[in-house]
Amino acid sequence: MEQRSLYDRLGGQSAIVAVIDGFVGRCAADDRINAKFARTDVPRLKSMLVDQVASATGGPATYTGRSMRETHDGMAVTAGEFDALVEDLVATLNAFNVPAAEQQELIGILGPLRSDIVEVET
Instruction: List, for residues 56-74, the tens digit of each pLDDT value.
Output: 999 999 999 999 999 999 9
Instruction: List, for residues 86-120, the tens digit of each pLDDT value.
Output: 999 999 999 999 999 999 999 999 999 999 999 99
For CA atoms 53, 55, 57, 59, give the dihedral sign: positive
Write down the pLDDT at residue 57: 98
pTM of the shown model: 0.93
Domain ranges of the chain: 6-117
Buried b (16+ CB within 10 A) or exposed e, 49-69: bbbbbbebbebebeeeeeebe
- 6-117: CATH number: 1.10.490.10
Report d(CA 44, CA 95) in Å as an integer: 23
